[in-house]
A = this chain, B = another copy of it.
Amino acid sequence: MALIVQKFGGTSVGTIERIEQVAEKVARFRDDGHDVVVVVSAMSGETNRLIGLAHEIQEEPVPREMDVLVSTGEQVTTALLAMALNKRGRKARSYNGSQVRILTDDAHTKARIREIDDVRLHADLASGHVVVVAGFQGVDEQGNITTLGRGGSDTTAVALAAALKADECQIYTDVDGVYTTDPRVVDGARRLDKITFEEMLEMASMGSKVLQIRAVEFAGKYNVPLRVLHSFQEGPGTLITLEEDDAMEAPTIAGIAFNRDEAKLTILGVPDTPGVAYRILGPIGDANIEVDVIVQNVAEDNTTDFTFTVGRGDLARAEEVLQRTADELGAREVRSDSKIAKISVVGVGMRSHAGVASQMFQALADVNINIQMITTSEIKISVIIEEKFLELAVRALHSSFGLDAEPTEESAA
């Protein structure tokens, strides 16, 4: 008899048939005696259709009106799901963000949730209703419709779970859980039964795009147990919690994340004076370019080399900015390379285990992969390598850290 918040994304509610399937699933939880709050996204394609209409009018429409426009997408889904539940004899009521009252700041198209009024929802749950809430949206103090930005439905679900003190927040998606790495790259990739919020954050930000980072942060902050499940397949999914597994049994590494969306810029022979990092990265930030990995080499002959990565789409612009900086600073040269990939090993276990870094470097050396950059955090080590070695590196690390699944009869056959 738990209180469960369930979130279904656009693909899971992309057709009437799928909405009916979701209703079946929700009804089963209800029949098991649970109180259920369902958060839904717009039917897949709908948000893009609406944005397309707006763009026929204007390239950059007023954000306030964009929010009025796109927030209708989720509202449509809530009504349809409530109907599908009613059809099955389950009481259900739909609410948009403003009706629940999901109060946000007034940053249209990227608003942040401030407060959720839970009175109405608790009353509906108490009277046996399934509550269906439009994800991704809220309302500001003045009553203007706001949206949380793309993927915000995950955040809505977690925020509702926190406000309602739900026992679990279930995120239904098109994968059956969080994997040790991308199964398309490594055959032996395994679904994790459990992972911590911290690990999930590192995995998500590294490109394992199962969950929105903000939702994971939110869940961690309010300690909302989060479960990733497949919308239309049965299975336990992956539970994301605060608790580390018992340290003795905890695997050192939870998973291997990677991405190929970055490019590398190097400025060589920069006079090594205080504030040089700021003088290099300041103009990049001013140009609204996000920087990921940053490495500064030890100075030599009073000059230093400075390397950082940016999104590939920003490379040309970043290079231009950096060239100007190089001229100003009297640096020797600017180099760029877009054929790179980033690989990270992630795991809270590495806090208590020495040697993860050396094991990682060893594994890469064993397959003759050269490491270009290294950064580390408490629960993550990332390296930049040549892009063409990405798959090889992921497989080598996955195996080296003992993440490969035992071959099952099926996969062995």
Contacts and interface: CB of A to CB of B under 8 A. Distances in A.
A164 interface: no
A61 interface: yes
Contacts of A53: 16, 76, 80
B61 A68 contact: no
Contacts of A58: 83-84, 86-87
A129 to B, nearest CB: 11
A65 B50 contact: no
A71 B76 CA distance: 9
Interface in A100-121: 120
Nearest to A66: B79
Contact of A54 (B61, B66, B83, B98): B83
Contacts of A62: 82-83, 86
Among A62, A66, A68, A86, the most chain B Cβ lie within 10 Å of the Cβ of A68
A128 to B, nearest CB: 15
B19 A57 contact: yes
Contacts of A64: 93
Interface in A105-149: 120, 143-145
A143 B99 contact: yes
Count this chain's copies in the assembly: 2
Contacts of A87: 57-58, 61
Contacts of A78: 68
Contacts of A82: 62, 65, 68
Given A16-B53, A94-B68, A143-B99, A61 B86 contact: yes
Contacts of A86: 58, 61-62, 65
A69 interface: yes
A72 interface: yes
A31 interface: no
B98 A56 contact: no
A57 B69 contact: no
A53 B77 CA distance: 10
A93 B58 CA distance: 16
Contacts of A93: 64
A76 B50 contact: yes
Contacts of A72: 72, 75-76
A86 to B, nearest CB: 5
A404 interface: no
A66 B53 CA distance: 24
A72 to B, nearest CB: 4
A386 interface: no
A20 interface: yes
A16 B99 CA distance: 29
Given A57-B20, A57-B84, A69 B79 contact: yes
Given A57-B84, A98-B98, A69 B76 contact: yes
Contacts of A66: 79
A75 B82 CA distance: 20
Contacts of A56: 16
A230 to B, nearest CB: 23
Given A62-B82, A98-B98, A68 B57 contact: no
A243 B83 CA distance: 48
Interface of A: 16, 19-20, 50, 53-54, 56-58, 61-62, 64-66, 68-69, 71-72, 75-76, 78-80, 82-84, 86-87, 93-94, 96, 98-99, 120, 143-145
28 contacts: A16-B53, A16-B57, A19-B57, A50-B76, A53-B76, A53-B80, A57-B83, A58-B84, A58-B87, A61-B83, A61-B87, A64-B93, A65-B82, A65-B83, A68-B75, A68-B78, A68-B79, A68-B96, A69-B75, A69-B83, A71-B75, A72-B72, A72-B75, A72-B76, A98-B98, A99-B143, A99-B144, A99-B145
